[in-house]
Amino acid sequence: KDIDECATGTHNCRADQVCVNLRGSFSCQCPPGYQKRGDQCVDIDECTLPPYCHHRCVNTPGSYYCQCNAGFQLASNNHTCVDINECDANNPCAQQCYNILGSFICQCNPGFELSSDRINCEDTDECRTSSYICQYQCVNEPGKFSCVCPEGYQVVGGRTCQDINECETTNECREDEICWNYHGGFRCYPRNPCQEPYVLTSENRCVCPVSNAICRELPYSVVYKYMSIRSDRTVPSDIFQIQATTIYPNTINTFRIKSGNENGEFYLRQTSAVSAMLVLVKSLSGPREHIVDLEMLTVNSLNYRTSSVLRLTIIVGPYAF
């Protein structure tokens, strides 16, 4: 009957060896993960042998294990490394998360930008990026911006300011007044602008009757006109044309600025025998009102002289738009 030396303790195997009973004998072997070198058992470095780990191999006494790089985790076979979807597992981004192999990228919604930690999002102050983003004033809001316009204007297309025509909407002009819209507001002017001894003959036209002795020293007619210009208009600029309404034979017409040009903002250029162009030569800033009298003097061959005046009210808006 075979004697089990391993069970009876009659073997001479070292403490780091494993006794294996044989029929009529016994054998001293190394435990798994070790190999014999002479009489000693030394650890086997499995990291130098297949099957290799996908990323990193760590040898241990009698065994080994696999490790994965950051952003990966071990598959069920304990050898292969699979990507961790950080966006699904625990979304670290403040707004938008995009998974990439071994990592992730954070992005922000429109109107925000990534902060220095590349995770959180900070509001983008669009108003500071450009002074031309709005025609008048930019108001920054979380994730966006808006443009506002001054009183008398409305926002068009999100950024541009357009004049509101108060004469077509709501105004405070009386029945005996006419409403005149200008850039940024409106004004009320009398429907009958004539002052003694002038009488109204047609809309905006006042005539001094020849039967009145006072009229001999006054212009025969005064026509009232209104116009609007933007503030700081480029100069020189043609702004208004004056023209004779009635042409008499054998007469000579001359044109001049009778009043309202004390600071030299205007120049009257005669363009034909019966017309002249008012030229703006100095930039005007608003809001402001200029009243300029443009006179046409008519002389015939018999030295008969008469004149007519066009009283032009120029309303300069408060802004350049």
Both 92 and 202 in a single domain? no
Q: Of 250, 130, 57, 232, which Cα lies nearest the Cα of 138?
A: 130
Per-residue pLDDT tens over the stretch 43-89: 999 999 887 899 999 999 999 999 999 999 999 999 999 999 999 98
Both 206 and 242 in a single domain? yes
Separation CA 207–CA 141 (nearest Å): 59
Q: 284: domain CATH number? A: 2.60.40.60
Is the Cβ–Cβ distance between 318 and 153 less than 8 Å? Answer: no
Please tell me the pTM assigned to this model.
0.69
Both 212 and 293 in a single domain? yes
| Residue 179 belongs to a domain | no
Separation CA 260–CA 251 (nearest Å): 27
Both 294 and 206 in a single domain? yes
How crowded is residue 186: how many other Cβ atoms within 10 Å of its Cβ?
Answer: 22
137: domain range? 129-161
Strand 81-83 and strand 72-74: the pairing is antiparallel
Per cent of the chain over pLDDT 90 is: 83
Give how many domains the chain has, as a whole number. 5
Both 234 and 298 in a single domain? yes
pLDDT of res. 303: 77
pLDDT of res. 140: 95
Both 38 and 61 in a single domain? no
How crowded is residue 269: how many other Cβ atoms within 10 Å of its Cβ?
Answer: 13
Is the Cβ–Cβ distance between 27 and 17 less than 8 Å? Answer: no
The helix (H) or strand (E) run that includes residue 69 is none
| Residue 249 belongs to a domain | yes
Both 53 and 157 in a single domain? no
| Residue 180 belongs to a domain | no
Is the Cβ–Cβ distance between 230 and 183 less than 8 Å? Answer: yes
Per-residue pLDDT tens over the stretch 152-194: 999 999 999 999 999 998 888 999 999 999 999 999 999 999 9
Separation CA 266–CA 316 (nearest Å): 14
pLDDT of res. 302: 77
| Residue 170 belongs to a domain | no
Is the Cβ–Cβ distance between 87 and 104 less than 8 Å? Answer: yes
DSSP state of 7: H
| Residue 298 belongs to a domain | yes
| Residue 7 belongs to a domain | yes
Separation CA 176–CA 204 (nearest Å): 13
Both 235 and 303 in a single domain? yes
Report helix, strand or coil for 48. Answer: helix
| Residue 51 belongs to a domain | yes
Both 224 and 310 in a single domain? yes
| Residues belonging to the chain | 321
Q: Which residues of the chain have pLDDT under 70?
A: none
How crowded is residue 299: how many other Cβ atoms within 10 Å of its Cβ?
Answer: 15
Residue with tokens 């050898």: 79
CA-CA-CA-CA torsion sign (22, 26, 27, 32): positive
| Residue 226 belongs to a domain | yes
pLDDT of res. 49: 87
